[in-house]
Amino acid sequence: MDNWFISAAVSRSAESEADRRRLAALVDPGVCNADPAGGGSPSDAAILNFALNLEYLEAEFYLRATTGSGLPDEMTTGTGVRGEVSGGGSVNFSSNFVQRFAKEIASDEMQHVAFLRSALGNAAVARPAISLDESFTAAATAAGLIKQGERFDPYANDLNFLFAAFLFEDVGVSAFKGSASLLSNKTYLDAAAGLLATEAYHAGIVRSALYSAGLTDDTVFDSVRKISDARNSLDGPADDDQGVGTAADPNFIPTDENGMCYGRSAQSVLNIAYLSPNPVSSGGFYPAGMNGDIVMSAASA
């Protein structure tokens, strides 16, 4: 996605409501129908800031795993309450392959943060409080990877890191897929396709690495399925999340009966980010909630 597109999108106040609703669809078809703040459809800046909140989380997760530290302070300021990041640390990678693709993804996510902050200018939200410790333990407990009272450290080793990355990456793909049916403007469609493609590359690498790990430890396949089932339980009744299959029957690419990836609304994404199937505005990976206007998850039960 080119910088000129986002810059133009932020200043589209003179264009039609229909155009603004199509832009909103880049992140989520659901938010086109209701403003979480109660005043009609959300602004262009609100949509981009929702994406920026998500990019802060991914950038902090991958940067800490690969470098031992997160985003520089100057990339975390903005409107709303600037929060701290709890948890995180360098992974002592045993696989050069995993380490190298993790570094590349970390670079991508940092560039995404810089890109969105530059496009939004003074309207950019600050990095909210982010949990990279208690949130993963809660998620792993809910998925059945660990027992109540145990601790899950996503930075302890390659496999834990891959489980944690899997929790994020498929969600990013489904978020952008959810917008496709409402896009008619070619510029918007091109931009959404670029973002979707990047997320799909990331997810595909993580899924392939987990399948490879399962070939020497078949409990990996069951653990991935449990994470997938946990996401399904959070974002609604539809069975639209898949693991990586088995050694004999792999599932590298999660698709529906038409061979297409699944989509999620912004509210469903927030159900997963907040680790709650209920309509809430904070929790999980964002203990104090996101910054901006789009902050409420859905009633997914």
Task: Name 95's Cβ contacts closer than 8 Å, sequence gap at least 6.
Answer: 158
pLDDT at 122: 95
pLDDT tier for residue 58 given thresholds of 50, 70 and 90: very high
**Do the domain assignments include residue 212?**
yes
35 three-class SS: coil
- Least confident residue range of 25-29, 91-95, 126-130: 25-29
Domain that holds residue 118: 41-274
**Do the domain assignments include residue 14?**
no
Interatomic CA distance for residues 242 and 258, integer angstroms: 15
Q: Percent of the chain beyond pLDDT 90?
A: 52
How many structural domains comprise the chain? 1
- Give 86-101 pLDDT, tens digit per residue: 999 999 999 999 999 9
**Do the domain assignments include residue 24?**
no
User: 3-state SS of 160-211?
Assistant: HHHHHHHHHHHHHHHHHHCCHHHCCCHHHHHHHHHHHHHHHHHHHHHHHHHH
Interatomic CA distance for residues 289 and 125, integer angstroms: 12
pLDDT tier for residue 200 given thresholds of 50, 70 and 90: confident
Burial 84-95 (b: 16+ CB within 10 A, else e): ebebbeebebeb
Interatomic CA distance for residues 155 and 134, integer angstroms: 13
Q: Where are the beta strands (DSSP E) in 24-144?
A: 85-86, 130-131
**Do the domain assignments include residue 19?**
no
Tokens of 52: 């920026």
**Do the domain assignments include residue 174?**
yes
Specify whether the CB–CB gap between 52 and 124 falls below 8 A: yes
State the pTM of this model: 0.83
**Do the domain assignments include residue 138?**
yes
- Helices and strands in the chain: count of H runs, count of E runs: 9, 2
End-to-end CA distance of the chain: 35
Interatomic CA distance for residues 93 and 65, integer angstroms: 9
